[in-house]
Each structure stands twice: as C-alpha cells, then as structure tokens.
Amino acid sequence: MITLNEYKEYVDNVIYSIKNILYKKDPLIFDKIDFYNDDIFLEPLLFSAIINNDNENIERSLMSYKSNSLIKIKGKNSIYIPNIGYIKLINEIPIDSYFFIKKTNNILSVTDTYENCIQYKIEPIIYILNDIEFLKENDKLLENLFINKEEEVTHVDFIENKFFENKFKKALKDLEKHSPLFYNQLMLSLKKVIFFKGDSYCFSTIKVHITIFFYVNDNIINELFFIEHLLHEGGHIIFNNITFDSKNELFIFDYKTLFKDIEGFEKEHGDLYSRFHGIFTHYLISSNFHNFLKKDVYKGDCDRIKELEGRFCFDMNKYKISLELFSKDILSEKGYELYNIFLAKYHEIINSNSNLINKYNLDNQTYMFSFEKFCQSNLY
C-alpha cells in the first residue's frame, strides 16, 4: 500500500511528535539527551509514561540516555530500566519502603532514603533478534493492559521459553523471505515483545506503542501462530504510525465515536478508529497468507498447508465482516480512499481463491484460530 521510504516518513513523524512533547515538558531536555538518537523516542515505556502524564516514569525511560538522573522506587525489589536492564536488590526491602536509583556522571548507584548505599545487581536485557527486545518481567506501566473475556483487568505471568523464542525467530525469517515489505516495515516499528500466560489474548496498543504481547500456550504455538499475530498486531502498530496525526481525517464523525451512538449501529461494539484498524490488519493477514499459498511455502508439509489454509479462510471471513461494517456513510473522502484499497484487495483474493474460501467448516472457531478445533470440525 505504501513504500518502505514512505513508511519511514510516518515513523519519523511519530518521533518528531514525541520530541515535541518532551520539549514542551522541559525546554532544556535536548541539553540532556541526544536529539538525533531515534532509539530514545521509540522506547515503548516512554510512550506509556507520556500517555499517562507520568513524569517519574518518563525519567525512568530516559535515564540510560542521560549523564545525570534520579528516580524514586517504592515497594519493589526489582525494577526495569530501558537500555540498562533489570536492577535487582541483593537484600529485599519492606514493601512500604523507598529506594533511589541515581546516575551521576554516567555512574549508577542505589541508595535508601538516608543515602546509604544498597547492594544490587543488573540482569541484562535480552534481545531476540536484531534490536527486538524480549521483556521478561511485568511492569507497573503494563499491569492494567491485560484484559480478560469479561473485559476486566487480569493477572498474567511473563514467560521465558526457548521453544517459543525459536518459533518466533522462524516466523520472522519466513516473513523476511516471503513478505519482505511487511517485514521491513515491522523492523522499523517493533521494539519489544512479551510472551505471557493468563486469561487474555494477544494484543498491541498505542498505550505501549511498538510492542507486541503474545499469549502463549503449549498446545497452539508454532511459526504460523507467530506469523499471523505478527501480521495482526504488527499491522496495528504500522497503522498507528501511518494515521498518527490523521485519525480524524478518516471519518465524518470524531474518530473516538462509538458505533452504538450512530443510528443503525446500536448493537455494534467498539469505536470507529479501532474497527477501521481491524480492516487494515485483515488486509495484511489475508494478502500475505494469499501470497504464502501462491508460493506454496510449506510444500510437502501437509499439516502446515492445512493450517495455513484454515487460518487464511478464518481471516477472510473476518475481513468480509469488517468491510461490511463500513458500508454506510461513515467514512470521509480520505477514509473511502483507504477503504476502496482494502475492498479491491479483498475481491482480488476472493477471485483467486474461490474454491478454497468455503472449503472448510469453521463454525467451532472462537476469537483466536485453533488448529486443533479446525481438525475436529474438518475430520483432518
């Protein structure tokens, strides 16, 4: 839909916006951090701290890039500092106690409220591939993001697992080989990944931008799982960057308008912008799976071929439903331009796969595709 260079301009615009916010908070900020180091302004926890207007965590997110910095921590014996690692106290402190992490002329120290030194160690940051960081511990900026089926905040456990990591890497290699444009856009966008277990789904969010949260389960994880969710959640990240300053230009209503507040959509959930996001993610998933099928990427592997076909058909159904939701007069002229691109791609894929689209029974599928359920309903 857009070239890599065009997409880079959108990412640069996001970086500029973050710089502008930081400058408004502190006009001297660029005397303290490097204006030209883009990594600073693409830190996911910095996005979260800015959105929450949390100056303490803005400082934590910037600490590694400053020569001098000070943060105050309460009730924890471990804290993650971006680009430094996990600060772990050797001896635990009471839950209602404070300690301070101080950086003076680039030298780190940890003290109590009386400025007594506290022993600590630093556990290093884990990088899965290139500059993609694996976040191994939950953080107070993340805890309220995990939502269960009842739409309530739920507890999850972060998981370190080499099997999941290897499948994730294999998914990226497959995307690099067979979907190079998406892969290169993703590499400009994705900074952190999280594997978790608990009562929640895979997701990404502008609240912790350029991060993907993967719900992992021993029974469902292979490279196709990661490919689909990299396309899905990576698609959300990419679309957030593309529309960072233009959300309201897509609709004739405010982009935050709930569907239920528009006549004729009283039974629909969600807001205009998030649902339009959904069309873009299905556009990415279906078009890339379509290419995987055309290239016969998994030739000779019957299980993978069937799973790919199942995931493809499952997403094409969602693609159709998402398109139909915007069939009424909701979109602006600019929004319709995008919509027509998505619609044309849908019909192109349908016309190329007419024999496959309705081949399988998908009635027992829920929100996330399950190959196990697919096999049960299709006697495979």
Q: How many residues does the chain have?
A: 380
Q: What are the pLDDT digits (tens) for 235-255?
A: 999 999 999 999 999 999 999
Residues 179 and 255 in one domain: no
CB 361 within 8 A of CB 373: no
Q: How many domains does the chain have?
A: 3
Q: Which domain range does residue 30 map to?
A: 4-124
Pairing of strands 211-215, 192-198: parallel
User: Nearest 5°: phi and psi at 148?
Assistant: -90, -175
Domain identity same for 268 and 194: no
∠ CA 153-154-158, nearest 5°, is 125
Predicted confidence (pLDDT) per residue in 155-173, tens digit: 899 999 899 999 999 999 9
- Position 380 confidence tier, pLDDT thresholds 50, 70, 90: low
229, 170 in Cβ contact below 8 A?
no
> How do residues 23-77 score in pLDDT, each as one tens digit?
999 999 999 999 999 999 999 999 999 999 999 999 999 999 999 999 999 878 8
Q: What pairing do the DSSP bridges indicate for beta strands 192-198 and 132-134?
A: parallel
CA distance 311 to 374: 9
* DSSP assignment of 327-355: -STTB-HHHHHHHHHHHHHHHHHHHH-HH
Q: Are residues 154 and 77 in the same domain?
A: no
pLDDT, residue 57, reads 96
Clarify whether residues 211 and 303 are in a common domain.
Answer: no
Q: Are residues 275 and 287 in the same domain?
A: yes
Which of 124, 149, 175 is a domain's end point? Answer: 124
Q: Do 267 and 302 share a domain, yes or no?
A: yes
The span from the first CA to the last CA of the chain, in angstroms, equals: 36
Separation between Cα atoms, residue 196 and residue 265, nearest integer Å: 35
Whole-model pTM over 0.85: yes
Q: Are residues 170 and 237 in the same domain?
A: yes
Write the Ramachandran bin of 41: left for phi over 0, alpha for psi from -120 to 50, otherwise beta.
alpha
Cα pseudo-dihedral 292, 297, 300, 305, rounded to 10: -30
Q: Which residues of 321-348 are buried (b: 16+ CB within 10 A; e: fewer)?
A: ebbebbeeebbeeebeebbeebbebbee
- Which pLDDT does position 263 carry in this prediction? 77
